[in-house]
Structure 1
Amino acid sequence: MQTYSATGAGKLRRMRRMFGADGRAVFVAIDHAAYMGEGPPLGEPMAQIAAGGPDAVLATWHLARAYADTFADAGLVLRIDGGASELGDFAPGDVNDIMHLPEQALKLGADCVVVLAFPGAPDEHLSLRRLARLTSECEQLGLPVMAEMIPGGWGKAVPWTTENVARAARIGAELGADIVKTVCPGRPEEFAAVVEACPVPVVALGGPKSDSEDDVVALAGGVVAAGGAGVAFGRNVWGSAKPQLLVERLREAVHGGGGAG
């Protein structure tokens, strides 16, 4: 029987709060309004998302507090970086910073924290050093870190090829991330190369709103078939007319047979 350190045991328990017994997860991202100033509709849509049974939500500080009861049965991944909005012109470079401390995230009940990193961007050193410092600190607290690895940044200073996405995912893991969230390059089956390159669970982000929810569900199934640990979808879930039904469909695509924890 393996005995864990206190922090190791804490990290294990928190990872199990997010991932089912099959090692997979449906994350619903509701953290967009922190930079968009709009996004997930408040009130009943939140209850519908929760009723669908996501394994975890990616939330802002406000939503984590305001909907603590609504999402009490789901894991909580707290967005702790930021500092820029889309109200004006896009910043010419990385102006993000750590906005909330890991200890504060723990007090809020977070099972994980998430931050962005941009390997391949001209100022990649800012986000990569930020990620490394955070993982070092969170390791001492038993708090998992999700790294949202965007090769070249949102401006695509490097193309989002399978090779570049795979390398970005590996960089995130090497800097200490426990989970990597990244783009799905091309067809879902190409995600296999990303998974193979990365020694920690990799989940695919959803990107812009799709016109077809069947395509959204198919993407989730394809990512898992390629070895991915699941998906982290936002706009396609909270932008749905029936978010509960879509979350249920995503759970079936990711976990199959309802075998989630």
Structure 2
Amino acid sequence: MQYTSAVGAGKLRRMRRMFGDDGRSVFVAIDHAAYMGEGPPLGEPMREIAAGRPDGVLATWHLARAYAGEFASSGLVLRVDGGSSELGDLPANDLNQIMYNAEQAARLGADCVVVLAFPGAPDEDKSLGRLARLVAECELLGLPVMAEMIPGGWARAVPWTAENVARAARIGAELGADIIKTVCPGPPEEFAKVVETCPVPVVALGGPKMDNEDQLVAVARGVVEAGGAGVAFGRNVWGSEKPRQLVERLREAVHGAASGAASGATR
């Protein structure tokens, strides 16, 4: 019999909680208000998202505590970086910092932590250094790290081509991230170029609100058909009039018909 170290076993269990047997996941990002000051509506909309049974949620410290019961069946990916907001002028440089450490995240019940990194930005050393230090800290606790890799930063100091997105994803993995969250560079089939060179699971972020939810579901399906491990959609889910039904549709698109049948059985 082969044994895994306690730390390795902890990471394995946490990863399986988020990705399941098929290695795919539907994450819902509800962490926007920490820098926007607005975003995911509280109360019943949160409960509706939870009722759709996402595999994981990217949450702020507050939402992780306030809706612990509602999201107890979903993996918790805690946003641990921040320190800037959109209340004033958008900064030209990276002002973020690590707000919570690995031990605090684990105490809150996090299955994973998430941070932004901006390879290709003028001050890329700040975010890449934060990511590496966090990875080393989390490794001691068996806590997975999701790196949100944005080539050139939100200002797009480098174009979001498939090549640049793929290179950014690979950099995040090489620094030790267990999961990469990044942009989809064009049509979903372009995501294959990102996945091919990345040694860890890659999930696509949703970006701006889409007008058509059928299009959103099609993007999710295209991402997994291209080899992606799933999606991490935010405002497209919490901005929906029927977030529960949308999460269920995304689960079916990502996991297949078996997921859709399971969702129906729980109603």
* TM-score, with structure 2 as normaliser: 0.96
Residues 147-176 of structure 1 show CA distances to partners (whole Å, capped at 9, x for unaligned) of 000000000000000000000000000000
Distance 1:174 1:5 in 2: 22
Q: What amino acid is the match of 1:25?
A: S
Q: What amino acid is the match of 1:163?
A: E
Name the SS of the counterpart of 1:8 in structure 2. Answer: helix
Q: How does 1:196-235 map to 2 (within 5 A)?
A: 196-235=196-235
Q: What amino acid is the match of 1:68?
A: A
Are residues 1:109 and 2:109 paired?
A: yes
Distance 1:151 1:192 in 2: 17
Residues 12-68 of structure 1 show CA distances to partners (whole Å, capped at 9, x for unaligned) of 000011012100000000000000000000000000000001000000000000000
1:166 aligns with: 166
2:195 aligns with: 195
Distance 1:35 1:209 in 2: 17
2:74 aligns with: 74
Distance 1:23 1:257 in 2: 15
- Is the 8 Å Cα contact of residues 251 and 258 (structure 1) preserved in structure 2? no
Distance 1:10 1:28 in 2: 23
Query: Which residues of structure 2 form unaligned runs of 5+?
Result: 263-267
Distance 1:195 1:144 in 2: 19
Deviation at 1:125, TM superposition (A): 0.3
Distance 1:258 1:21 in 2: 12
Are residues 1:99 and 2:99 paired?
A: yes
Deviation at 1:258, TM superposition (A): 2.7
Distance 1:46 1:169 in 2: 30
- Is the 8 Å Cα contact of residues 251 and 259 (structure 2) preserved in structure 1? no
Deviation at 1:257, TM superposition (A): 1.7
Name the SS of the counterpart of 1:57 in structure 2. Answer: strand
Are residues 1:42 and 2:36 paired?
A: no
2:52 aligns with: 52
Distance 1:197 1:165 in 2: 11
- Is the 8 Å Cα contact of residues 51 and 244 (structure 1) preserved in structure 2? yes
- Is the 8 Å Cα contact of residues 21 and 259 (structure 1) preserved in structure 2? no
- Is the 8 Å Cα contact of residues 166 and 193 (structure 2) preserved in structure 1? yes
Deviation at 1:198, TM superposition (A): 0.3
2:87 aligns with: 87
- Is the 8 Å Cα contact of residues 28 and 233 (structure 2) preserved in structure 1? yes
Residues 94-121 of structure 1 show CA distances to partners (whole Å, capped at 9, x for unaligned) of 0000001110000000000000000000
* TM-score, with structure 1 as normaliser: 0.99
Q: How many matched pairs?
A: 261
Q: Which runs of 4+ in 1 moved over 2 A?
A: 258-261
- Is the 8 Å Cα contact of residues 119 and 153 (structure 2) preserved in structure 1? yes
Name the SS of the counterpart of 2:196 in structure 1. Answer: helix
The share of aligned pairs that are identical, in percent, is: 79
Q: CA RMSD in A?
A: 1.0
Name the SS of the counterpart of 1:258 in structure 2. Answer: helix
Query: Which residues of structure 1 form unaligned runs of 5+?
Result: none
